[in-house]
Amino acid sequence: MTNRQNVFSISFSLGLRQWRIAAIIYFIQLCLAMTLGMQAHSVLESSIGNSLEINKLLAQYDHTVLTDFLKVHGASITPLIGQLRWLLLVWLIFSVFINAGMLYCAGTEQTKARAFLQGGAEYFFAFLKISFIFLILILVWTMAIWLPMLLFMEPSLQYFSSEKYTVWLALSLMVIYLVGLALLFIWSVISRFVKIKTDASTASCIKKGWAIFRKNKAGFLILMFGFAAVQIALLGFYWLLEALTGMTSPGLILVLFVVQQAFVFFRIQLRQILYSGVCYLATPNEAPRHVS
């Protein structure tokens, strides 16, 4: 029996022990990032490596300099943007595989990479269908929130006595939008767990996932925003460390690079911990699963 009080402690314990899985995911993400980075470096070095505008942009943001920069070197950047679209498609494919492996191992005592690879391969196509459905739902939610705001923004600036009312309205909509995204994220995770447990159809998994979420929506949202707060705190700590050191020497740059990579690695572990927590809340009366 697993209750809400010890969900966090058990999830942290299991997630931290699955560091091998996090290491594989880190390596995959590093390879993808290096692929984009090397392409960007090659294009920029050959075309604008000696551009004086670079130094001006490094000093501070200047809209005029940036506009001139894009006019002069836009032809060099355009192919890079075209390649980025394909890299995003590749990332989507790898993301589905990664999440399939992580969810397959979440809520289990499995710490070996073999189970991660097995889960990623076994549930890739099933999770790909679920991902596309929730991408559509995210697009619909985004349009429902921001399209009316865009249509209302210009008239509101003329109607209200101050633009601060429009700003507060936009901030309020941002909060509502983020809560909606969190809800869709948790719903999608639960639907994937249902697929792993029951092997039902995609529509049945999504329907069952929503029913499970409704039964304990407060617990799921508290879990989600709790881990979001941890990530924000870590990000704030990194920014503070960067501001204090200033990266004024090669040694400090190296230290901050190591800290940054450790931050990325721990974020992967946090995601695995979150998945384990969602698994326990979705199946509170079940013991940890054992996978081979």
Question: What string of H, E and C letters represents the secondary structure of the chain?
Answer: CCCHHHHHHHHHHHHHHCHHHHHHHHHHHHHHHHHHHHHHHHHHHHHHCCCCHHHHHHHCCCHHHHHHHHHHHHHHHHHHHHHHHHHHHHHHHHHHHHHHHHHHHCCECCCCHHHHHHHHHHCHHHHHHHHHHHHHHHHHHHHHHHHHHHHHHHHHHHHCCCCHHHHHHHHHHHHHHHHHHHHHHHHHHHHHHHHHHHCCCHHHHHHHHHHHHHHCHHHHHHHHHHHHHHHHHHHHHHHHHHHHHCCCCHHHHHHHHHHHHHHHHHHHHHHHHHHHHHHHHHCCCCCCECCC
pLDDT under 70: residue ranges of the chain: 1-5, 36-84, 154, 156-163, 246-249, 284-292
Task: Judge whether 291 lies within some domain.
Answer: no
Q: What pLDDT does residue 108 have?
A: 76
Residue-level pLDDT at 29: 85
- Tell whether 28 and 114 lie within a shared domain: yes
| CA–CA distance, 11 with 283 (Å, rounded to integer) | 13
86 and 1, same structural domain?
yes
Contacts 24+ apart (CB under 8 A), 226-232: 226/8, 227/270, 227/273, 227/274, 227/277, 228/182, 230/270, 231/267, 231/270
Q: What is the pTM of this model?
A: 0.79
Q: How far is residue 210's CA from residue 190's CA, in Å, rounded to a whole number?
A: 8
54 falls within a domain: yes
Which residues have CB under 8 Å from 244's CB, separation 6+?
none
Residues 157 and 234 both lie in one domain: no
Residue 9 belongs to some domain of the structure: yes
What pLDDT is recorded for position 285? 60
Question: Same domain, yes or no, for 211 and 240?
Answer: no
**Domain that residue 250 falls in:** 1-122+216-286
Domains: count for the chain: 2
Residue at a domain's end among 215, 238, 264: 215
- Shared domain for 260 and 203, answered yes or no, is no
If asked whether residues 188 and 223 sit together in one domain, one would say: no
Question: Which residues pair with residue 108 across a beta bridge?
Answer: 289
110 and 172 inside one domain: no
Q: Which of 116, 78, 69 is CA-nearest to residue 97?
A: 116
Q: 56-89 as b/e, with b when 16 or more CB fall inside 10 Å? A: beeeeeeeebeeebeeebeeebeebeeeeeeeee
Same domain, 37 and 106: yes
Note the Cα 168 to chain centre separation in Å: 26
Model pLDDT, residue 1: 42
**165 and 229 housed in the same domain:** no
Q: What pLDDT does residue 292 have? A: 47
Domain final position from 188, 215, 242:
215
Query: Is there a single domain that holds both residue 118 and residue 225?
Result: yes
Q: Does 34 map to a domain?
A: yes
Burial class, 16, CB count within 10 angstroms (exposed 0-12 / middle 13-18 / buried 19+): middle
Q: Which tokens is 286 given?
A: 């079940």
Whether 58 maps to a domain, the answer reads yes
Which pLDDT value is given to residue 158? 67
What is residue 2's predicted lDDT score, i.e. its pLDDT? 46
- From 191, 215, 239, give the residue that closes a domain: 215
Does 227 lie in the same domain as 108? Answer: yes
Q: Identify the CA nearest to 275 among candidates 260, 289, 292, 262.
A: 289
Asked whether residue 85 falls in the same domain as residue 133, the answer is no
Instruction: Specify if 66 maps to a domain.
Output: yes
Within a domain: 292: no
